[in-house]
């Protein structure tokens, strides 16, 4: 059974950094598209970043070069390094896996078939 577990969220002041982790069991990252999404209260879930099996990374315009998505396949762990955090980055962050693709990854949440439980990130001004 596939299971994704996020960690690393917390509270930080604007301009600070956090690193989120997503540990997977039941399959290997090297064969799937992986993504990070976030959802703020009262808003729809928003795609943040994605990575394919070739290591190609794509980011949403809202995070640009402030965030970095990466994987450590030996540990079956997905990361999201978040730098220069802003109050508008405050949200619940979710990692997700699309086991039906290994490249040409999607940025639509409905295309991802496995999800973690989320980790809260709060950025104060």
pLDDT tens-digit readout, 19-37: 999 999 887 666 789 999 9
pLDDT averaged over every residue in the chain: 94
Cα distance between residue 80 and residue 82, in whole Å: 6
Residues contacting residue 64 through CB under 8 Å, at least 6 positions apart: none
DSSP string, 13-65: ETT--EEEEEEEESS-GGGSEEEEEEE-TTS--EEEEEE-TT--EEE-TTTTT
Per-residue pLDDT at 2: 82
pLDDT tens-digit readout, 58-103: 999 999 999 999 998 777 899 999 999 999 999 999 999 998 988 9
């Amino acid at each position: 059974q596939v299971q994704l577990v996020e960690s690393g969220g917390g509270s930080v002041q604007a301009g600070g950094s956090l690193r989120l982790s997503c540990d997977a069991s039941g399959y290997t990252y090297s064969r799937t598209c992986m993504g990070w999404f976030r959802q703020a209260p009262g808003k729809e879930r928003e795609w943040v970043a994605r990575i394919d099996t070739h290591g190609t990374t794509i980011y949403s315009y809202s995070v640009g070069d402030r965030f970095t998505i990466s994987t450590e396949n030996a540990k079956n762990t997905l990361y999201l390094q978040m730098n220069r955090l802003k109050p508008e980055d405050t949200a619940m962050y979710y990692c997700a896996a699309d086991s039906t693709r290994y490249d040409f990854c999607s940025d639509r949440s409905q295309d991802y078939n496995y999800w973690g439980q989320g980790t809260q990130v709060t950025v104060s001004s």
